[in-house]
A and B are shown apart, each in its own frame.
Chain A
Amino acid sequence: MYVLNPTTAPTAARFVAAERVRPLRGARLGLLDNGKHNSNKLLDHLCDVLAEEHALSKVHRARKPSPFAPAPETLLAELADSCDVVITAVGD
């Protein structure tokens, strides 16, 4: 007898990773807080370390309205326009 597989696989589209920014000296850094408690603490600490080591030219902070939904397209476009590098993090 035959049975049907009940699962649905993710439909992840293929993508090409953006070119890495090296060195980071003078880069514009974006920090995208995912909206959970303590995400900002982790990002702030990362920012401190990076700023000390790489002399960033600018830090742009953004926060998702909810941790349970994707970031709005407008927010992503804003980050893409104003930053060379973006770090996102979850904390809880």
Chain B
Amino acid sequence: LKDAALQTRFQSEQLEVADSVAAIELFFERGWTDGLPIVPPTPEAVEEMLEYAGHEPGTHLGSVPERRRDVTVEKVAVNAVMAGCLPAFLPVVLTAVEAILEPRFSLVGPSSNTAGAAVLIVVNGPVARQLGLNSKDNLFGPGNRANATIGRAVRLTMINAMGTAPGVFDQSCMGHPGKYTYCIAENEADSPWEPLHVDRGLHPEDSAVTVYAAQAMYQSNDRFHSDPESLLTSIALSMAAVSSFLAEAQPEMAVVVGYEHMQALGDSGWTRRQIKDFLFAQARSDLTSLKQVGKLPGATEPGDEARFKGVIDHADDILLVAAGGVAGRYTDIIPGWPGARSRSVTRAIGQCDECHV
């Protein structure tokens, strides 16, 4: 589009600045960043993104009714430019935004609550490979543009277009670094299991985004066990320990199995189903421990040490993801937002409303 057309193309206010550095400073002054410099969202850059994705700026993506915010493609594209996204990343960002706006994700809880969850984004399918998303070394960063800027674009959209600015509706006590960016791909090529999005009802050839209201990740290192029972018992003990940091139980829990653990479990022939069932059965905390760490009220009573509470309610509340660096025997445990009213959402990229699960 020519300059004149770009002036009327967007609903957003257009601000005149001397140059890019002035734009960066203006955005700092207005509180429109995550604390890092942004790429100036010029009408030309935003238009380039929209053209790539084939979207009209006014398309409505969803709402945050409690905060009276309606979210359009235009605002997501503006924030994606700011985050440093390439135009090719926009479909992933748009799908992640649509996913967190689904009522069952219940965005207001995890994004405002003192517990301070971030949005973990897991990308599956061909798009992850096409965009060069990292699923291996240094999984949670830094260093990869797609991972870093897709996660950041979702966060900037939350801050600017959904009222989730710190100190406004984001009342997190501690926060965590995943609130800058928190985006990974699954290592489908090396995984012994079907991909996460297939486990959740989509097809292998679909590209998909899974969003999960997530606390920080905790590395569980097991150097010695390779047989599945011993290794999974070790992971289940880590799940119970990590869970007890936050609450008496978890609505969901992500378990990101690193490469060497993945290989050991793959060699055993255990399926995704078997692994989730085993972890579900083994990940539990005794009532004495839960009372001692202040997750259950009251004094400890005789017998509490032999009474147990499961970390999760169902085996399918585990999001099992195969990803991580090729060296090192690690599995990451990522607890969810302890308020029970947020459920992870998997959504196919660039498809109809009926295609999400």
Contacts and interface: CB of A to CB of B under 8 A. Distances in A.
A1 interface: yes
B14 A11 contact: no
A2 B249 CA distance: 50
Given A3-B23, A3-B41, A68-B108, A8 B161 contact: yes
B123 interface: no
Contacts of A6: 12, 27, 32, 41, 75, 78-79, 82, 156, 160-161
Interface string A1-42: 111111110111000000000000000000000000000000
A70 interface: yes
B223 interface: no
B70 interface: yes
B16 interface: yes
Interface stretch (B60-68, B85-93, B258-266): B60-68
Interface in A32-63: none
Contacts of A7: 32, 75, 160-161
A69 interface: yes
Given A68-B106, A68-B109, A68-B341, A4 B68 contact: no
Given A6-B156, A66-B341, A68-B341, A1 B19 contact: yes
A66 B40 CA distance: 40
Identify which of A8, A11, A12, A69 gathers the most chain B CB atoms within 10 Å of its CB. Answer: A8
Nearest to A11: B68
Contacts of B14: 2-5
Nearest to B68: A10
A1 B68 contact: no
A65 B166 CA distance: 26
Given A10-B69, A12-B68, A2 B15 contact: yes
B251 interface: no
A8 B69 contact: yes
Interface in B1-33: 10, 12-20, 23, 26-27, 32
A12 B66 CA distance: 10
Contacts of A68: 106, 108-109, 112-113, 339, 341
A6 B13 CA distance: 9
B178 interface: no
Interface of chain A, main secondary structure: loop
Contact of A4 (B12, B66, B106, B339): B12
Contacts of B20: 1
A5 B19 CA distance: 16
A4 B13 contact: yes
Given A11-B68, A11-B69, A68-B109, A4 B10 contact: yes
Contacts of B341: 66, 68-69
B161 A2 contact: no
Nearest to B80: A6
A5 B106 contact: no
A70 B160 CA distance: 22
Nearest to A7: B160
A69 B66 CA distance: 7
A12 to B, nearest CB: 5
A70 B67 CA distance: 10
A22 to B, nearest CB: 30
B106 A3 contact: no
A10 B113 CA distance: 20
Interface of B: 10, 12-20, 23, 26-27, 32, 40-43, 46, 65-72, 74-75, 78-79, 82, 106, 108-109, 112-113, 156, 160-163, 339, 341
Given A2-B14, A4-B15, 8 more contacts: A1-B17, A4-B74, A4-B78, A6-B12, A6-B75, A7-B32, A68-B339, A69-B66
26 contacts: A1-B16, A1-B40, A2-B14, A3-B17, A3-B23, A3-B42, A4-B10, A4-B12, A4-B15, A4-B41, A4-B46, A5-B12, A5-B32, A6-B12, A6-B75, A6-B78, A6-B79, A8-B72, A8-B160, A10-B68, A66-B109, A66-B341, A68-B106, A68-B108, A69-B66, A69-B109
